[in-house]
A and B are shown apart, each in its own frame.
Chain A
Amino acid sequence: MDIATCQLITKFLLAVWSLVSAAEWAANLALFRPDGLLSWDVLKLRRRLSRPEGTHTVLYSHRAFLAVISGRALAGAALLAPSANAWDFACAGFIFASCLYVSRRSVFGSDGSDQMGMVISLGVAIMSAGIAFGDRNLAFVGVFAIAGQATLAYFVAGAAKLVSPTWRGGHAMARVMSTRTFGHPLAARIAAGKPRLSHVLCWFVIVTEMLFPLVFIVPPTVAIVALACYAIFHFANAYFMGLNAFVWPFLATYPSVMLMNATVRSVLGWQ
Chain B
Amino acid sequence: MSLAATLLCGFVVMWLMVTAFSHIPPFQFWVSRFDQFHLIPRWNFFAPNPGDKDYHLVVRHRCLDGRLTEWQNVPLYVPRPKLACLWHPQKRAAKVLNDAVQSIRFLYRHEGVSDSGLPFSLPYLLLLRTVCRLAPPADDATELQFAIIESTGHDETRALTCAFLSSYHRR
Residue numbers of A with Cβ under 8 A of B are: 20, 23-25, 27-28, 31, 35, 37-39, 41-43, 45-46, 48, 100, 103-104, 106-112, 115-116, 118-119, 126, 129-130, 133, 135, 137-138, 140-141, 144-145, 148-149, 152-154, 156-157, 159-161, 163-164, 166-167, 172, 175-176, 178-183, 185, 188, 235, 238-239, 242-245
Contacts and interface: CB of A to CB of B under 8 A. Distances in A.
Contacts of A106: 96
Nearest to A135: B2
A165 B51 CA distance: 14
Contacts of B140: none
Contacts of A183: 154
B160 interface: no
Interface string B87-122: 111011111111110010000000000000000001
Contacts of B54: 179-181
Interface residues of B, number: 62
Given A161-B47, A179-B52, A242 B95 contact: no
Interface string B31-59: 00000111101111111111111110000
User: Which 4 pairs, one residue from A and one from B, show the smallest C-beta to C-beta distance?
Assistant: A164-B48, A175-B52, A160-B44, A160-B47
Contacts of B154: 178, 180, 183, 185, 188
Contact of A145 (B12, B50, B89, B94): B12
Main secondary structure on A side of the interface with B: helix
Contacts, number: 203
Nearest to A104: B37
B4 A138 contact: yes
Interface stretch (B13-21, B61-69, B141-149): B13-21
A185 B39 CA distance: 36
Contacts of A160: 23, 43-45, 47-48
B80 interface: yes
B45 A145 contact: no
Q: Which of B43, B55, B76 has the most CB of A within 10 A?
A: B43
A181 B94 contact: yes
A141 B50 contact: no
A244 B88 contact: yes
